[in-house]
Amino acid sequence: MNTDRVACSSVKPTLCLFAALLIMISLAIPASAHVPLTAGGNENLSSAMHISDPGKSWAVYGTLDKDIVHYYSFDLEEGERIYLSLFKTADLLEKDFLPALLLLGPGFGGSSHLPENLKLPPQASSLKILVAESRGAFPAVYEPFGPSSFREVAELNLSAPKSARYYAVVYDNSNGKANAVGHYGLAVGYREEFGFLERITTPVRLISVYLWEGQSLAVILIPYLVAEILALLMFWRSSRKTSYFLAGSLAGFLFLASSASVLTQMVFNLTRAPFGPEVYITLAIAFLHALLGVVTIRLARGEAGLLQRVLLAVIGTIALLAGSGLIMGPILALAASLLPSRSGSIFGKPAAKTPEK
């Protein structure tokens, strides 16, 4: 029997899947998304959360208690664009919660008066006030890249009148309604760009967004727990117990878990927001994660030649940049490309031979 021909034929389906994966990535539209941040400890003007690059697109997620005010600061040169968008969770339990937004800074002509239910510290007395107008009905919006859902509340889009430090102020404007405590988000900036570290950590940061939406941590992590159990079962039942196979299988199932997580979040958020064409973007993202998983598992179950190891290393790099597998999946795929995989070995060590009778 020609073993070289058999090995070659077993690689062809994997190469086809890998080619399909590269085509999908080349056709993918760049994600229109914010870098997620979590607010905290910014209840005074002096301790305002500082946004170092207000032109870059950030989304700060926070929880606003009654009579509490949150402050955000950023420095701008005269003429630079100021873009702020306030939104809240689409949870119907928070329908009475109404956050509001205003901007403090110099040079606002004909600035608005301070709302009656808001008191600012003495340090803000020299600053002008610009109140963002409410959007009114707050229809729920589906965001496909998280995926997530929210209701847009207010927006400010203008040029900085002077070079100075500006303050965004988020406060409760529910006018004494019961159950007015809730979750809000503040989008800052207009340049949608990700640094390398931000790109690979965003999937982990998204967990805080799902918690912000009111989901439990256990439900969020269930797809990853189930996936790893399935990977360990497949490894336990296989006769090929090598470190290459184990690491590759764990990585592949983590990529599949990312696909399952995206689909779960899509279904959850479609119970709060209307179905639209954006849903197909989410489905494409889920398919990309699934394709990464299938290709990785096929490579892990086969013989580990040089080509297979190179493909695993490439997949691990792609998965890291695509946010698949919660960082650990890409690390395992990259590790698998270097780990030993000799048939009949256990974690790279030759298995003991049974003495012939």
Question: What is the rounded CA–CA span in Å between residue 298 and residue 282?
Answer: 25
Task: Record the tokens describing residue 326, joined without a space.
Answer: 């919660």
Q: Is the pLDDT of residue 326 over 70?
A: yes
Helix, strand or coil for residue 201?
Answer: helix
Confidence of residue 347 (pLDDT cuts 50, 70, 90): very low
- In this predicted structure, the answer to whether residue 262 has a pLDDT above a threshold of 70 is yes
Query: Which stretches does DSSP call E strand in 77-147?
Result: 81-89, 99-105, 128-131, 140-143
The mean per-residue pLDDT over the stretch 267-276 comes to 94
Contact between residue 5 and residue 303 where contact means Cβ atoms under 8 Å apart: no
Contact 105, 167 (CB under 8 A): yes
- 272 pLDDT higher than 70: yes
Average pLDDT over residues 258-278: 95
User: Cβ neighbours of residue 312 under 8 Å, at least 6 residues apart?
Assistant: 248, 296, 299, 300, 333, 334, 336, 337
The pTM of the full predicted model, rounded to 2 decimals, is 0.82
Q: Is the dihedral of CA 289, 290, 292, 296 positive or negative?
A: positive
Q: What is the rounded distance in angstroms from the CA atom of residue 114 to the CA atom of residue 119? A: 8
Q: Give the C-alpha separation, 302 to 318, whole Å.
A: 21
pLDDT digits (tens, 9 = 90+) for 157-189: 999 999 999 999 999 887 766 556 789 999 999
CATH class of 35-194: mainly beta
Angle at 220 between CA 216 and CA 222, to 5 degrees: 115
* Cβ neighbourhood burial of 355 (10 Å; 0-12, 13-18, 19+): exposed
Rounded CA Rg of the chain: 25
pLDDT digits (tens, 9 = 90+) for 231-250: 999 999 988 889 999 999 99
pLDDT-derived band at 304, boundaries 50, 70, 90: confident
**Distances in Å between the alpha carbon of 65 and those of 41, 42, 178?**
13, 13, 12
Question: What is the arithmetic mean of pLDDT over 294-298?
Answer: 94
Query: What would the pLDDT profile of 37-81 be if each residue is shown by its tens digit?
Result: 888 889 988 899 999 999 999 999 999 887 789 999 999 999 999
- Provide the pLDDT for residue 36: 85
Confidence band (pLDDT; 50, 70, 90) for 283?
very high
Q: What is the percent of the chain with per-residue pLDDT over 70, rounded to a whole number?
A: 82
Q: Both tokens of residue 39?
A: 């607010």
Question: Contact 87/152 with Cβ under 8 angstroms?
Answer: yes
Banded model confidence at residue 15, pLDDT cuts 50, 70, 90: low
- Residue 227: closest CA among 319, 323, 309, 324: 324
Report domain extents, the chain: 3-30+215-349, 35-194
